Amino acid sequence: MRIALFTETFLPKVDGIVTRLRHTVDHLQRHGNQVLVIAPEGGITEHKGAKVYGVTGFPLPLYPELKMALPRPAIGYALEEFQPDLIHVVNPAVLGLSGIFYSKLLKLPLVASYHTHLPQYLQHYGLGMLEGLLWELLKGAHNQALLNLCTSTAMMEELSSHGIERVDLWQRGVDTELFHPDLASWEMRSLLSQNHPESPLLLYVGRLSAEKEIERIKPILKAIPQARLALVGDGPHRQALEKYFAGTNTNFVGYLIGRELGSAFASADAFIFPSRTETLGLVLLEAMAAGCPVVAARSGGIPDIVTDSVNGYLFDPKADIQDAISATIRLLENQQERDIIRQNARKEAEKWGWAAATSQLQDYYQKIVLAKQPTAAV
C-alpha cells in the first residue's frame, strides 16, 4: 500500500507526535508499504526508507519551535508522482488542509488523526474565547475523513461530543527495548540531580510550554526540601520557568534522546506530569516502560494508561496540588510500594509495542481502501 502522510510536525523536532509517527513510518515500511511524508521543512529528506517532502514554513509567533507550512501546488506534483492509495492527515490545521484538498481532487480515501488537544491549549495563551470557533473548524476538517483516529477513549468521547463523526481508537505504543528499567545508572542520576544522586529525584520530560502547567510541580518540590527536580526538554516557556523555579533544586537539562533518555526515566524516583491537556501522554508510557513511577493529573487520555495506586498515582487536577504532594511523598517514603508500582508500570507498558499499534493502523487503512474501491461488475 502507498500512503501519503501529511503532518504539521516531524523530525528533527522531538515530541510525542513525532515519536509516534517515526515508529509508524518505520513499521509500515518494514511491512512492505511505501510512505511519503509531507511535513514542514526540517532538513531531512528520508526516514527509514520513506521519502520526506519538506514544505517551506515559518515559525509560529507563540511557539517558534513549530513551523507553519502553507499548502502549495508542488505538493500536488509530488502526490501525482507518488500515486498514493490513501492520504492520512495528522492534526489537520494548515498543511493538513492540503491533504484534505488533494484527497478530494484525486478521489483518494482520507484518514485523519487527532493528537493535540488544541481547544484546551487556547486558554493557556489567553485565547479561550476562540475555543468554540476552533471546534467548528476541527469538525469541518475531520468530518471530511472516512475515519478519525484518536489515541485515547477520552478523546474519542470528546470529539464525538463536538460533532466529529466516524471516530475510532488508534492504540498506544512504546519502545519497550529503548525504555527499560535496566538502563538505570548512578551516573545519570548524578547528572540529573546536579551531583546529588542520594537525594530523592523527581523528573519531568516533555515540551517546556505553557499548556504543560509545569509550574504546578513547584509546590511538590517545596514540600520535599531534600528533593531535586530535573526538567528534560525545551520549549518556548523555558525562560519563564527558569525565573519561576529560581532558588529551587531544579536542573534544566535540555533535550535527551535515545538511551540517555531511557536512562533518565529509569534513574528517577518519580515522574511528575501535571498537564491537563493530554490526548494520550505517550511520555507517561515511556516512563512506565522504564519502571519510573508516575504521578499524573487525572485528565484527558492519562487514565487510559495509569491506574491509580496500581501502576502509578493520579491526582485531581481541579483541586489544589495537595493530592499530588501527598502521592509523591507516599511514593518516596514507601520503598516496598514504590517497587510494586515500578513492576506493575513495566508490565502495563509491555502490552503496548509499536508493531501491534502499526498493525492495527494498517488494518484500518486496508478496510478504508477496500471500501472506496468500486464494486466489480458481475
Number of domains in the chain: 2
DSSP state of 314: E
Please tell me whether residues 168 and 247 are part of one structural domain: no
Distance separating alpha carbons of residues 50 and 31, to the nearest angstrom: 12
Please tell me whether residues 126 and 164 are part of one structural domain: yes
| Res 192: pLDDT | 98
Please tell me whether residues 198 and 341 are part of one structural domain: yes
Instruction: Name 181's Cβ contacts closer than 8 Å, sequence gap at least 6.
Output: 266, 290, 291, 342, 346
Please tell me whether residues 156 and 245 are part of one structural domain: no
Please tell me whether residues 83 and 202 are part of one structural domain: no
Q: Which domain holds residue 163?
A: 2-173+353-372
Please tell me whether residues 40 and 145 are part of one structural domain: yes
Distance separating alpha carbons of residues 224 and 220, to the nearest angstrom: 7
3-state SS assignment for residue 151? coil
| Res 127: pLDDT | 67
Confirm if 269 and 201 have CB atoms less than 8 A apart: yes
The partner residues of 231 in beta bridges, in order of sequence, read: 204, 252
| Res 376: pLDDT | 42
Please tell me whether residues 186 and 329 are part of one structural domain: yes
Q: Answer yes or no: is 378 within a domain.
A: no
Note down pLDDT in tens along the chain; length 378 residues: 999 999 999 998 888 889 999 999 999 999 999 999 999 998 899 999 999 999 998 776 665 666 778 888 899 999 999 999 999 999 988 899 999 999 999 999 999 999 876 656 556 566 667 777 878 999 999 999 999 999 888 889 999 999 999 999 999 889 998 999 999 999 999 999 999 999 999 999 998 988 899 999 999 999 999 999 999 999 999 999 999 999 999 999 999 999 999 999 999 999 999 988 776 678 999 999 999 999 999 988 889 889 999 999 999 988 778 999 999 999 999 999 999 999 999 999 998 889 889 999 999 999 999 987 765 443
Please tell me whether residues 51 and 128 are part of one structural domain: yes
Q: What is the CATH number of the domain that holds 246?
A: 3.40.50.2000
DSSP state of 308: B
Please tell me whether residues 74 and 154 are part of one structural domain: yes
Distance separating alpha carbons of residues 275 and 18, to the nearest angstrom: 19
| Res 135: pLDDT | 85
| Res 66: pLDDT | 66
Place of cell 513499521: 27
Of 305, 292, 281, 280, the closest CA to residue 180 belongs to 292
| Res 280: pLDDT | 67
| Res 260: pLDDT | 97
| Euclidean distance between the first and the last CA atom of the chain, given in angstroms as a whole number | 26
Confirm if 271 and 295 have CB atoms less than 8 A apart: yes
Q: Answer yes or no: is 377 within a domain.
A: no
| Res 378: pLDDT | 38
Please tell me whether residues 90 and 106 are part of one structural domain: yes
Please tell me whether residues 314 and 361 are part of one structural domain: no
Distance separating alpha carbons of residues 36 and 103, to the nearest angstrom: 14
Of 338, 347, 231, the closest CA to residue 290 belongs to 347
Alpha-helical (H) ranges within 162-217 are: 186-192
Please tell me whether residues 90 and 206 are part of one structural domain: no
| Res 284: pLDDT | 93
pTM of the complete model beyond 0.85: no
Distance separating alpha carbons of residues 263 and 184, to the nearest angstrom: 5
Q: Answer yes or no: is 308 within a domain.
A: yes
Max Cα-Cα span within the chain = 78
Distance separating alpha carbons of residues 109 and 211, to the nearest angstrom: 34
| Res 65: pLDDT | 63
